[in-house]
Structure 1
Amino acid sequence: MLNVNLKNDKKTIRTRLSKFPLPRTSPLPSGWKGAIWGVSIVTLFICFVQAFYYLGSRGIQDYFVGTILSILTVLGLTGLIAGVLHWARKMPSRYVWVLLASICLLYLSFLGPLPFTLSILLCMLFSFSLLGALLYRFIKGSYREAARWVKVAASTGIAVTIIFICALGYWLTSRGFAELEVPHPLQSIKTADNYSTSVANPAEPGPYPVKSITYASNPTYRKDLSTPGHLMTETVDGSAFVGNWSSRRTNTFGFGPEAMPLNGTVWYPEGDGPFPLVLIVHGNHLATEFSDPGYAYLGKLLASRGYIFASIDENFLNISPYDDLFILDGLKGENRARGWLLLEHLKTWESWNASKGNPFYDKVDMQHIALMGHSRGGEAITTAAAYNQMTTYPEDATIKFDYHFNIQSLVSIAGTDMQYKPGGQPIELKDINYLSLHGSHDMDVNSFLGANQYYRTHFTEDRNYFKTYVYIYGANHGQFNTVWGRTDAAGIGNLLFNNSEILPGEQQIQAAEVLISSFLEATLKNNDSYRMVFQDLGYGKEWLPETMYISNYSDGNTTPLANYEEDSDPGTTTLPGGHLEGDSLKAWKEDKVKMEMSDEQFSAVFLEWDNTSGSSIPVYQVILPDSGIDISDTSTLVFSIANHDAKPEARAADTLVDLTISVEDKHGNVSHLPLSQYSPLLPMFEGVLAKRPLGFFQTIKEPIFQNFAFDMNDFMKANTHLVPEQIRKISFIFDQTPKGNILMKDIGIRNDKR
């Protein structure tokens, strides 16, 4: 009886299951087979080429294992999706599977801007699918019995597809299709005769013979740093500063986070010293392609000019696709470790300077220290400066800090910002010199993030510190480092970017040498002749390459009249007792400044005018308090302006903005000077990052503030009756350029110490 019931149950189950037949895989038509082959071949070729960039430096075994595992993983995931889509029965599931896997693998290879990259990938996959399908059908004889017009159509389709693929291939492999145009180079903007200076070009080698030495903690990890005569250092425990350090990473580098090495290459002058100490640290790059040698050009230059220069190895904190399972299991919080390690290096230098028998005994001027960083290194130096003043680690107060080195200066090169915020707060710097360099064609850190830290750097009144930045038209991210070079993306991803419209590498290096060397001369050696380069970039026009620059400058000798950070009232000034007025303006408001790809960090006044539709001349005025402020014939009126005309027709080669600056004393004596006496306001720089004609997918155009400085002596020459000590009104009169849209910030009076 039991057996009879079981047989009946099985029969019932089979009957019910027959109503839901499982999908059956039917043989693919020859066209679809060809499409699969076409897409598969090109995808695998590109993947293996790109994988060699990611993994080739690890050796042939890791290269093949890592590449094959990545492909199999993507095939597995997309196979599941294709299986689901098979139920739609709109196309063969095997083709859908290969297509989805190809999209994933190719996107991981290119890693470009999403809309732009997907459009290119879809063109590639469609054209190779079509070509594969048509060729496979021809090979299998599918067109032998077809009508003549069908054969002609298929042949034409093959020819057109091949032409399209060749055109796409040419577009991808080219550097771009336009050269960099520089409509307003610095040398044509700064034409005044008073830029002559007797100081030497800071990018020329100095008088000191240069020597070099390496130091290392782990000779097996960096054999290139374990050269004969190298200095040995102790490892440091950084496990509290970085998370998710995998066993794979430990196997690759030979150590874990509890034994981080202190490694570096030093260029130093031959002489008695003591010499100022400069450390530089790289940013994120492939961990197995060492980045620290890329600053040798700076090391040799600065050592010849009397600095000890060390390029720090933090490559073990960089991305390692094999160890990080591409991006799925990477390090966490490593930006904290980048900054902390710099301070541990300084502890080593302090010890060497005090140790008899060490080659650097009594040769290091520990009272004059500069930290420099590139990319994430540009943020690491601000972290180091913040930790240097703290008593405990913000993320774990049981870890005590006691550094307090005399760090005088920071140089951020294309730096990131706020990837790490100590205790959840943005880093505020106080009483330290700060320089930020950035390029308009940076294809990695696309927005000028260093400007944020510029505005978060403050000075005690009458302290002799200054902050400055220089925005360089045509500069990219990588050419500040000779290892990184002209391309900012990884491997094949560079095929999407516009590498034709960037500065030649030697010119970008020249700009870096001039600006960094000038900054260090001014801040570590107190040579104020080089400070003038940042107060007015015209003083460097004979040394800098011919391109456009926007620079900004502020120091502790400036009394702020209006910085627009005090409140939301457009009528009030930062200086108590003053007020702001506007007349006949098309727009007037105070608001946060929106950069291209960063949070709103600082405020400004937004002013727009149009003289073509009214009878009154638009004007914006700062009314000073009746009690007056400290102004004399040696004072300087300073302010910064950013062009905000981002309309499509306002191209970089178009209008320069001019206006009139006037000051008026309490007796009614007025003096006028044109803005162009210092410099006209440059247009917004447009960085076309993706190749034309699709560059609109990736174009950077953001307001960068340009500083202006007018000596009171010049106003007095224009009106000899003017009494500087009794000035009560400063006016910005928009009478030179008919229409415009600007941002204004940091109006103040500077009284330089004589």
Structure 2
Amino acid sequence: MFDISSKNQKKVHRSLLPKIPLPGISPLPPGWKGAIFGVSLVTLFICLVQASYYLGSRGFQDYFIGTVLSLLAILGITGLITSGLHWAKKMPSRYVWFLLSSICLLYLSFLGPLPLSLSVLFCIIFSFSLLGSLVYRFIKGSYRETSRWVKVTAGTGVAAMCIFICLLGYWLTSEGFANLVVQNPLQTVKTTNNYSSSVANPADPGPFRVKSIAYISDPTYRKDLDSQGHLTTEPVDGSAFVDNWSSRRTNTFGFGPEAMPLNGSVWYPEGDGPFPLVLVVHGNHLATEFSDPGYAYLGKLLASRGFIMASIDENFLNISPYDDLFILDGLEDENRARGWLLLQHLKTWETWNASKGNPFHGKVDMQHIALIGHSRGGEAITTAAAYNQMTTYPEDANIKFDYHFNIKSLISIAGTDMQYQPGGQPIKLQDINYLSLHGSHDMDVNSFVGANQYYRTCFTENSDYIKSYVYIYGANHGQFNTIWGGTDAVGVGNMLFNNSEILPGEQQIQAAEVLISSFLEATLKDNNSYRMVFQDLGYAKEWLPETMYINNYWDGKTTTVTNYEEDSDPGTTTLPGGRLEGDSLKVWKEDKVKMELSDEQYNAVFLEWDNTTVTSTPAYNVILPDSAVDITDTSTIVFSLANLDTEQDVSAADALVDLTISVEDKNGNISHLPLSKFSPLLPMLEGVLAKRPLGFFQTIKEPIFQNFAFNINDFVKADTNLVPERIDKISFIFDRTTKGKILMKDIGIRNDQK
């Protein structure tokens, strides 16, 4: 034995000492070492790139610290998980450890629909693990003594993995593999001879010279707004409207929730005024990449047309991965603050308008106010409208409200819905104009939830209020804001999405300008000529980009015959005394409308027909009550339809559904008009959000209601014996399309020409 305690003993050579293995850890074969290197290197590279999107705008120090801490946290958590799985012994524990770490880090980078993200993660991890394993074994000489067949197979595997990784890289970095195909654009389904109007394009600049100014509470936070001549505002205490504001967030922005700043960029017309006031608020985005400058295009346009527009800064309420520990310790319930802050801005504008010496003294028409919100901002404006009418804060009645501004119009752009419900109740709007815009290729707010708020907006009978929505084929979430642009996810997560099938950015902005400007002209300036745009989008077909649109419309001048919300009896109308009858229909029932990803909130009637299986023509009849319906030759029959045929090919010859609308008076006179006189019913518009061939993992195809309006005078022209005042039956006859599935909602009589 060696006496290793003796000072005179010679040092023992390391090779003579026995190798004592660590408990539970065996030597790692070269292949597994290579697999670890392969998957770790690609994961680290992708994470560093993604971290630059999340943290790069904070500076190198925060980027470095945040990235290192995140990596260490993931490695620690997955190390613990690996220890628990070590008993399986099917793979070396160290590889399992790094594999789990890679899965977590890659998933945080490729956030998206779970099946889509997991498919991409599997391809990355499998290919780089196998490539790393094979290459490392070659380097270590593991194949020197093997047969030629083994060497050829291993070499082929390396080549195959290299080719697969190149193809995967090309797939990830491409925009997509199909262009947007518009089968039935608005310009085709709306014939030219039906539309003539003398009103100017609302997206054209108006006669006013545009000026701009900023207002800020703290110039150290928004140095970009700290321009010469800016206005100064006092911060407000919003601590009651947001939870879990961390000290990290305070350190980043320089203030806490008790001192939220009132910042905004203003575009306004040169002149005495007073001019209607429009506030625009963004949604959730990286807090350190300011979103409010992205609506400058709207500010310049609206100011030139005689509006004051302010783009509001609420970026400090947005996601901040560094401050929020990514998603582990973020803000809670901040949507309340988004709406409340808009009212605080209005208080500031009210003060300025009344203050001599202020550049806006007497120039603001506080009786004509509109709020525009994008994404979560689309929900913030409805929260503001709800708070505006309340006496106390629903979550703490000790906080009193006394706003009562004359907010006349709301415009939601790709808005969220019901992320916040005051007092646990969905927001219902009464007597306020409402417009919602949404895109079929929205890769953030995938489902058209703005339709929910549309149906929760009601008017006093015979009032001048209107509501509408426009569903734009090919529009995405971000291009309504020039800062957000064509990517709806963050960083490398965008590589999963099908950006080749979205509208060009300038066209999406063009659509927003036309529709938003038209709505404000109609509702804030009472320019009724622009109401026609929403009653029938064909009036805007020369102004809008060439794509497909589905729009809906209702106003206070319309008497509801049936909206299918009154009871569960398919034979009764909402208007007392009316009846509903079906004949030879394959399906006839009333039920909730199911959207792709949103809760079921409103009812419709489900109708299906197949003329090849029946002897009489299928029809759906509305029998009007003996009284309470005022119909003249200037009245209009209105209703909305949605295509429900999910199997229909949008490019098929019978993709456009047609049917016959007939009216009958008490004398037995019947007049018929085809649905296509107004417009055929468009098919369900499909938004393929994920890149092909994985598009089936994320495809949106929803029933969107399309409004139709038939003038009674047109029926009289078709049958001069018809007596409008004695009409008692409206029929929908399914004789022009052999078979189909549709939803019907909101049948009414409009009398807006009185």
TM > 0.5: yes
Counterpart CA distance in 2 for 1:536 and 1:217 is: 44
In the alignment, which residue of structure 2 is the partner of 1:577? 577
Instruction: Indicate how the Cα distance of structure 1 residues 653 and 513 shifts in structure 2: closer, same or farther if over 3 A, else same.
Output: farther
Q: Which residue of 2 aligns with 1:219?
A: 219
CA contact (8 A) 2:649 2:655 kept: no
Q: 1:602 maps to what in 2?
A: 602
Deviation at 1:279, TM superposition (A): 0.2
Matches within 5 A, 1:427-446: 427-446=427-446
Cα shift at 1:119: 1.1
- Counterpart mapping for 1:373-384 below 5 A: 373-384=373-384
* Separation (CA, whole Å) in 2 of partners of 1:489 and 1:575: 46
Q: What is the aligned partner in structure 2 of residue 241 from structure 1?
A: 241
Tell me what 1:635 maps to: 635
In 1, the alpha carbon distance for the partners of 2:440 and 2:367 equals 35
> 1:651 deviation in Å?
6.2
1:713-736: CA deviations, max 9, x gaps?
000000000000000110000000
1:59 aligns with 2:59: yes
Deviation at 1:226, TM superposition (A): 1.3
SS at match of 2:612: helix
8 A contact 1:652–1:686 mirrored in 2: no
**2:34–2:129 contact (8 Å) kept in structure 1:** yes
| 1:671-702 residue CA offsets vs partner (Å, 9 max, x unmatched) | 00000000000000000000011101000000
Structure-1 residue corresponding to 2:131: 131
2:618 corresponds in structure 1 to 618
Contact 1:619 1:732 in 2 (8 A): yes
Question: 1-side partners of 2:42 and 2:736: how far apart?
Answer: 58
Q: After TM superposition, list the pairs within 5 Å mapping 1:173-572 onto structure 2.
A: 173-572=173-572
Q: What do the CA deviations read for 1:367-400 (whole angstroms, capped 9, x no partner)? A: 0000000000000000000000000000000000
> How many Å separate the matches in 2 of 1:115 and 1:22?
39
Q: Partners of 1:429 and 1:740 in 2: how far apart? A: 34
Is 1:727 the counterpart of 2:723? The answer is no
Q: Distance in 2 between matches of 1:456 and 1:649?
A: 32
Q: State how far apart, in whole Å, the 1-side matches of 2:467 and 2:339 are.
A: 20
C-alpha displacement at 1:23, in angstroms? Answer: 4.0
Amino acid at match of 1:576: P
Alpha-carbon distance in structure 1 between the residues aligned to 2:324 and 2:575: 53
Distance 1:650 1:739, change over 3 A: farther
**Structure 1 counterpart of 2:17:** none
- Asked whether the 8 Å contact 1:183–1:652 carries over to 2, the reply is no
1:453-483, Cα deviation, whole Å (9 max, x unpaired): 0000000001100000000000000000000
Q: Is the 8 A contact 2:648 2:683 kept in 1?
A: no
Q: Tell me the CA shift for residue 648 of structure 1.
A: 6.3
Offset at residue 627 of structure 1 (A)? 2.9
SS of 1:240's equivalent in the other structure is helix
Q: Distance in 1 between matches of 2:716 and 2:653?
A: 35
SS at match of 2:240: coil
C-alpha distance in 2 between matches for 1:596 and 1:654? 24
Instruction: String of CA shifts for 1:596-641, please: whole Å, max 9, x gaps.
Output: 1111110000000000111110000000112362000000000000
Paired AA for residue 726 in structure 2: Q
Q: Deviations over 1:188-207 (max 9, x none)?
A: 00004131111100000000
Q: Which secondary structure does the structure 2 equivalent of 1:171 belong to? A: helix
Structure 2 CA distance for aligned equivalents of residues 115 and 72 of structure 1: 27
Q: Which amino acid aligns with 2:569?
A: D
Matched positions, count = 734
d(CA) in 2 for partners of 1:23, 1:479: 57
Q: CA RMSD in A?
A: 1.0
Q: Is the 8 A contact 2:183 2:651 kept in 1?
A: no
Deviation (angstroms), 1:22: 8.5
Whether the aligned pair in 2 keeps the contact of 1:652 and 1:683 (CA below 8 Å) is: no
| 2:172 aligned partner | 172
What corresponds to 1:12 in structure 2?
none
Shift of 1:84: 1.4
| Distance in 1, Cα, partners of 2:614 & 2:654 | 24
What is the one-letter code of the residue matched to 1:603? N
Give the Cα separation in 1 of the matches to 2:37 and 2:666.
84
Please give the residue correspondences for 1:695-734 in structure 2 after superposition, counting only pairs within 5 Å.
695-734=695-734
1:652 to partner: Cα distance: 7.9
Q: Which stretch of the first structure deviates more once superposed, 38-47 or 185-194? A: 185-194
Say whether the 8 Å CA contact 1:651–1:686 is kept in structure 2. Answer: no
CA distance in 2: counterparts of 1:654 and 1:109, whole angstroms: 43
CA distance in 2, matches of 1:713, 1:453: 33
Distance in 1, Cα, partners of 2:108 & 2:558: 50
Separation in 2 of the partners of 1:429 and 1:649? 37
Whole-angstrom distance in 1 between the partners of 2:453 and 2:739: 32
Q: Deviations over 1:79-118 (max 9, x none)?
A: 0111111111111000000000000000001101101110
Q: Which amino acid aligns with 1:466?
A: I
The TM-score, its normalising length taken from structure 2, stands at: 0.97
CA distance in 2: counterparts of 1:124 and 1:523, whole angstroms: 53
CA distance in structure 1 between the aligned counterparts of 2:679 and 2:449, rounded to whole angstroms? 25
1:747 paired to 2:728: no
User: Equivalent residue for 1:101?
Assistant: 101
Matches within 5 A, 1:25-104: 25-104=25-104
Paired residues of 2:635 and 2:749 also in contact (CA < 8 A): yes
Quick one: distance in 2 between partners of 1:669 and 1:52?
72
Distance 1:648 1:742, change over 3 A: closer
Counterpart of 2:118 in structure 1 is 118
Identity of aligned residues (%): 81
Structure 1 pair 644–332 and aligned structure 2 pair: CA distance change class (3 A) = same
Contact 1:353 1:364 in 2 (8 A): yes
Structure 2 equivalent of residue 6 of structure 1? none
Correspondence list, 1:668-707, <5 A: 668-707=668-707
Letter in 2 for 1:547: T
Q: What per-residue deviation string (whole Å, max 9, x for no partner) do you get for residues 303-336 of structure 1?
A: 0000000000000000000000000000011000
CA contact (8 A) 2:578 2:622 kept: yes
Q: Which runs of 5+ in 1 are unaligned?
A: 1-20
User: Which amino acid counterpart does residue 150 of structure 1 have in structure 2?
Assistant: V
Q: Is the Cα contact below 8 Å between 1:628 and 1:726 reproduced in 2? A: no
Query: Is the CA contact (8 Å cut-off) linking 1:654 and 1:683 kept in structure 2?
Result: no
Alpha-carbon separation, structure 2, partners of 1:204 and 1:330: 42
- Which stretch shifts more, 536-545 or 653-662? 653-662
User: What is the CA–CA distance in structure 1 between the aligned matches of 2:168 and 2:492, rounded to whole Å?
Assistant: 14
Letter in 2 for 1:373: G
**Aligned-partner Cα distance in 1 for 2:22–2:748:** 79
SS at match of 1:622: strand
Shift of 1:146: 1.3
Quick one: which amino acid aligns to residue 618 of structure 1?
Answer: P
CA distance in structure 1 between the aligned counterparts of 2:650 and 2:186, rounded to whole angstroms: 20
Distance in 2, Cα, partners of 1:498 & 1:514: 26
Structure 2 match to 1:646: 646
SS in 1 for 2:78: helix
Q: What SS does the aligned partner of 1:61 have?
A: helix
